[in-house]
Amino acid sequence: MSLSQWLFQKRNISLKKYVSSNNFSKNELYQNLWVKCNECNFLMYFKTLNQNYKVCPKCYYHFPTSSHDRVQHIFDENSWCSLNNNLSSIDPLGFFDKKLYRKRLSDMKSRTGLLDAVQTGTASINGLPVACGIMDFRFMGGSMGSVVGEKLTRLVEYSTYFKLPLIILCASGGARMQEGILSLMQMAKVSSALYKHSEAGLAYFSILTSPTTGGVTASFAMLGDIIIAEPKALIAFAGRRVIEQTIKEDIPDNFQTSEYLFKHGFIDLIICRTELRNKLYRLLLLYV
Whole-angstrom Cα distance, residue 4 to residue 226?
A: 59
37 is in an annotated binding site: yes
- Secondary element (H or E) of residue 36: strand 34-36
6 alpha carbon, distance to own chain's centre: 46
Torsion of CA 266, 141, 174, 205, to 10 degrees: -40
Letter for the amino acid at 203? A
81 is in an annotated binding site: no
170 is in an annotated binding site: no
Whole-angstrom Cα distance, residue 146 to residue 179?
A: 8
Whole-angstrom Cα distance, residue 136 to residue 95?
A: 22
The total number of residues shown for the chain amounts to 288
Count of other CB atoms within 10 angstroms of residue 33: 10
Residue numbering of the annotated binding site for Zn(2+): 37, 40, 56, 59
Binding residues: 37, 40, 56, 59
